[in-house]
Amino acid sequence: MLLKYQLYYFILSLSMLLSSIKIEAQITLSSLNDFEDGTTQFWSMGGGEPLGAVTNIEDGGPNGNGDNFLNVISTNSGPGGKLVINNSSPDWVGDWTSAGINYITFQVNNLSGASVDLRIALDGSGGRICTENGISIPSGSGWIGVSFPVLPSDFVTVSGGFSIEGTLADVNTFRFLNNPIPDWQGVNSTNTVGFDNISADAVALPVKFVAFDGFLDGNKVKLQWETSSEINNEKFVIEQSINTVDFKTMGEVNGSGNSTNSNKYSFVISDLPSGNNYFRLKQIDFDGKSQFSDIIYFDVGTRREAGEFYPNPSTSGIVSIHISEANLSDLTTHVYDLTGKLIQTFSPELNHEAGRLYYDFSFLRGGFYIVKIGENIPAIIRKLYIHY
């Protein structure tokens, strides 16, 4: 009987102890707001927010139809006059430093007629802090990826503060704001901006490649690539192989550092050996971190009439393809669905120097299509997959 009562009081004491321990959810490296649940996931302008200022839109995110995103509207006056959104939910509060948060990455689309100077601001036990450097999102940007560094050296104190490190160790409010200078408040502006896939990360988004291809001329190749955004990008190292295993360095091209604009690069390699030659890009950050592009190849000594669409599948509808000089005289392009029905006929934009055709197929719905370039025989015929 005594043992029974001892066990009872032990369980009771343990229960009381556990109930006295306050366990709180807080930010982790898995924190993510993708808005696919149809809500704003606790993002708001705060007190007095006008109806419709912060809403969840069910279509038109970075992946197109069916991809939800957060839409934010500022009206230049009154309670909703500033582009400022806050979040104090468990996903974003707590000790950012111990969680290993070095970057906040997200995708943004500026639908406004004016650029937006985005910053991150935090409120915590050490006061209010804001990123010293903002990122300018141009008008009509389309969806672009952004990585905001959020280490202590990236912030300045803006109000009531005495410790940047103290705030990062105990964040209670996370906000995005539009302001050309560091501040807790935004500036009055008329803007419509979409946000999606807001995540806490240990590393920055890599350089985003839009295209990587080349133009073969005998035993010489002109490699060309394009990026849509770059973060902390020092350079590209061009590597070549004849077996896809042993790559050697052929040269380097400087990167654009930090950029949210389209950047195009090229590099010429001569005296290539006959047979298959494989190429890749090694992108290197200023801090030494690196990533590789996809591998492309050319069969030197074999006539190459045309390349393939890149990227394919395309998530935006924007693609390019290289063609030989012999095909440049007739660029009339026909687009068919898989039943053979003609959808549209038009002529693409041509970069004469590179022999590259640029197409905007964003008018097409997602799915497979047959694209025929040229009226003469043989025409260039390729399959294209649009996947929003």
- In angstroms, rounded to a whole number, what is the distance separating the alpha carbons of residues 244 and 237? 16
CA-closest candidate to residue 357, choices 370, 338, 371, 337? 371
pTM: 0.54
- Tell me, what's the pLDDT at 304? 46
Cβ atoms 232, 286 nearer than 8 A: yes
Question: What pLDDT does residue 255 have?
Answer: 92
157: which 2 tokens? 């104190």
The structure tokens 């708001």 sit at: 44
Contact present, 136 and 164 (Cβ < 8 Å): no
Which residues of the chain, if any, have pLDDT below 50? Answer: 2, 5, 7-8, 11-12, 14-23, 303-304, 353
DSSP label at 165? H
Residues 250 and 271 sit within 8 Å (Cβ to Cβ): no
- pLDDT value for 19: 41
pLDDT of residue 388: 66
Q: What domains lie within the chain, and their CATH numbers?
A: 32-201 (2.60.120.260), 206-304 (2.60.40.10), 305-388 (2.60.40.1930)
Dmax (CA) of the chain? 100
β-bridge pairing 290-292 and 263-269: unpaired
